[in-house]
Structure 1
Amino acid sequence: MVAVLIGIYLGFSYDELQKSLVEGVSRALPAFFILLIVGTIIGSWIVGGVIPALIYYSLKIISPSIFVPAAAAVTGIIAISTGTSFTSIATVGLALMVTGIGMRFPPPLLAGAIISGAYLGDSMSPLSDTTNLASAMAGCDLFELIGHIILTGIPAFLISIVMFYFVGIKHVESISISTEEIALIYNGISQSFNINPLLLVFPIITIVFSIKKFPAVPSLITISILGGISALVLQKADFRLVLNAMTFGYKSNTGIQMIDSLLSRGGIVSMGSTIILMLLATALGGILEKVGFLNTILKSVMKFIKSDGQLILLTVLSGFAAAFATGAQLLAILLPARMFVPEFKARNLHLKNLARVAQSIGAIGINLVPWSVPCIFASNILGVEPSKFIPYLFFVFMTVIINLAYGFTGFTITKINKN
Structure 2
Amino acid sequence: MHRQPRFIVALLPLISLVIVAALSIMVWNVSMFLPLMVGVIATCILGVTHGYTWDEMQQFMKDGVSRALPAVFILFIIGTIVGAWMLSGTIPTIIYYGLEFIKPSVFLPTVAITTGVVAISLGSSFTAIATVGLAFMAIGTGMGFPPAHTVGAIVSGAFFGDKISPLSDTTNVAPAMVGVKLFDHVRHMLWDTIPAFAISLILFWLLGRNVTADVTNTEKMNELADGLLQTFTIHPALLLLPIITILLILKRYPAIPSLVIVSTLGGIVAIIVQGNSVGDVMNAMTSGYQGNTDSETLNTLLSRGGITSMLNTIGLIIIATALGGVLEGTQVFTTLLEKLIAKIKSTGSLILTTVLSTLVVAYSSGEQFMSIILPSRALVDTYHEKGIDPKNLSRSVEAAGTVGINLVPWGVTAVFVSEVLQVSPYNFIPFIFFAYLVIAFNVFYGFTGFTITKLPNSK
TM-score if structure 2 supplies the norm length?
A: 0.89
Residue 26 (structure 2) aligns with: none
**Could you tell me how far apart the structure 1 residues matched to 2:100 and 2:352 are?**
46
SS in 2 for 1:170: coil
CA offset at residue 297 of structure 1? Answer: 2.0
Task: Determine if the alignment matches structure 1 residue 196 to structure 2 residue 235.
Answer: yes
> Which of 324, 346, 349 does residue 385 from structure 2 map onto?
346
**Could you tell me how far apart the structure 2 residues matched to 1:134 and 1:303 are?**
23
**Could you tell me how far apart the structure 2 residues matched to 1:254 and 1:338 are?**
53
Task: Determine if the alignment matches structure 1 residue 320 to structure 2 residue 359.
Answer: yes
Unaligned runs of 5+ in 2: 1-40
SS in 2 for 1:240: helix
Residue 391 (structure 1) aligns with: 430
**Could you tell me how far apart the structure 1 residues matched to 2:339 and 2:223 are?**
62
Matches within 5 A, 1:331-370: 331-370=370-409
**Could you tell me how far apart the structure 1 residues matched to 2:266 and 2:455 are?**
49
Partners of 2:359 and 2:404 within 8 A in 1 = yes
Q: Deviations over 1:270-315 (max 9, x none)?
A: 1111111111111111111111112112323433211011111111
Residue 405 (structure 1) aligns with: 444
SS in 2 for 1:6: helix
> Which of 152, 162, 165 does residue 125 from structure 1 map onto?
165
Residue 46 (structure 2) aligns with: 6
**Could you tell me how far apart the structure 1 residues matched to 2:310 and 2:439 are?**
29
Q: Deviations over 1:147-201 (max 9, x none)?
A: 111211111000000110111102228x556333222111100111111111011
Residue 289 (structure 1) aligns with: 328
Residue 371 (structure 1) aligns with: 410
Question: Which residue identity lines up with residue 19 of structure 1 in the other structure?
Answer: Q
> Which of 235, 238, 241 does residue 277 from structure 2 map onto?
238
Partners of 1:48 and 1:231 within 8 A in 2 = yes
Partners of 2:337 and 2:375 within 8 A in 1 = no
Task: Determine if the alignment matches structure 1 residue 247 to structure 2 residue 286.
Answer: yes
Matches within 5 A, 1:151-170: 151-170=191-210
Partners of 1:103 and 1:177 within 8 A in 2 = no
Partners of 2:108 and 2:204 within 8 A in 1 = yes
Residue 82 (structure 1) aligns with: 122
CA offset at residue 73 of structure 1? Answer: 0.5
Question: Which residue identity lines up with residue 212 of structure 2 in the other structure?
Answer: V
**Could you tell me how far apart the structure 2 residues matched to 1:176 and 1:333 are?**
48
CA offset at residue 76 of structure 1? Answer: 0.4
CA offset at residue 401 of structure 1? Answer: 0.8
TM-score if structure 1 supplies the norm length?
A: 0.97
Partners of 1:262 and 1:383 within 8 A in 2 = no
Question: Which residue identity lines up with residue 403 of structure 2 in the other structure?
Answer: I
Question: Which residue identity lines up with residue 252 of structure 1 in the other structure?
Answer: G
Residue 17 (structure 1) aligns with: 57
Matches within 5 A, 1:135-154: 135-154=175-194
> Which of 66, 75, 86 does residue 46 from structure 1 map onto?
86
Which range moves more in the overlay, 295-304 or 95-104? 295-304
Task: Determine if the alignment matches structure 1 residue 210 to structure 2 residue 274.
Answer: no
Partners of 1:52 and 1:193 within 8 A in 2 = yes
CA offset at residue 264 of structure 1? Answer: 0.5
SS in 2 for 1:171: coil
Residue 98 (structure 2) aligns with: 58
**Could you tell me how far apart the structure 1 residues matched to 2:396 and 2:217 are?**
44
Residue 226 (structure 1) aligns with: 265
Question: Which residue identity lines up with residue 149 of structure 1 in the other structure?
Answer: M
SS in 1 for 2:233: coil
**Could you tell me how far apart the structure 2 residues matched to 1:343 and 1:234 are?**
59
SS in 2 for 1:213: coil
CA offset at residue 360 of structure 1? Answer: 1.2
Question: Which residue identity lines up with residue 39 of structure 1 in the other structure?
Answer: G
Partners of 1:152 and 1:402 within 8 A in 2 = yes
**Could you tell me how far apart the structure 2 residues matched to 1:301 and 1:353 are?**
18
Q: Deviations over 1:226-284 (max 9, x none)?
A: 11011001100011110011011110111212211121010111111111111111111
**Could you tell me how far apart the structure 2 residues matched to 1:136 and 1:290 are?**
22
Identify if the C-alpha distance between structure 1 residues 376 and 301 changes in structure 2 by more than 3 Å, giving closer, same or farther: closer
**Could you tell me how far apart the structure 2 residues matched to 1:369 and 1:299 are?**
22
CA offset at residue 139 of structure 1? Answer: 2.3
Partners of 2:105 and 2:211 within 8 A in 1 = no
**Could you tell me how far apart the structure 2 residues matched to 1:418 and 1:159 are?**
36
**Could you tell me how far apart the structure 1 residues matched to 2:207 and 2:195 are?**
18
CA offset at residue 384 of structure 1? Answer: 1.2
> Which of 208, 211, 218 does residue 171 from structure 1 map onto?
211
Task: Determine if the alignment matches structure 1 residue 261 to structure 2 residue 300.
Answer: yes
Which range moves more in the overlay, 227-236 or 330-339? 330-339
Question: Which residue identity lines up with residue 139 of structure 2 in the other structure?
Answer: T
Equivalenced residue count is 418
Identify if the C-alpha distance between structure 1 residues 413 and 177 changes in structure 2 by more than 3 Å, giving closer, same or farther: farther
**Could you tell me how far apart the structure 2 residues matched to 1:207 and 1:296 are?**
43
Q: What do you get for the CA RMSD once the two structures are aligned?
A: 1.4
SS in 1 for 2:212: helix
**Could you tell me how far apart the structure 1 residues matched to 2:400 and 2:299 are?**
35
The percentage of counterpart residues that share the same residue type is 48
Partners of 1:135 and 1:352 within 8 A in 2 = yes
SS in 1 for 2:343: coil
**Could you tell me how far apart the structure 2 residues matched to 1:355 and 1:245 are?**
41
Q: Deviations over 1:341-381 (max 9, x none)?
A: 11111111111111111111111111111111111111111
CA offset at residue 406 of structure 1? Answer: 0.9
CA offset at residue 13 of structure 1? Answer: 2.4
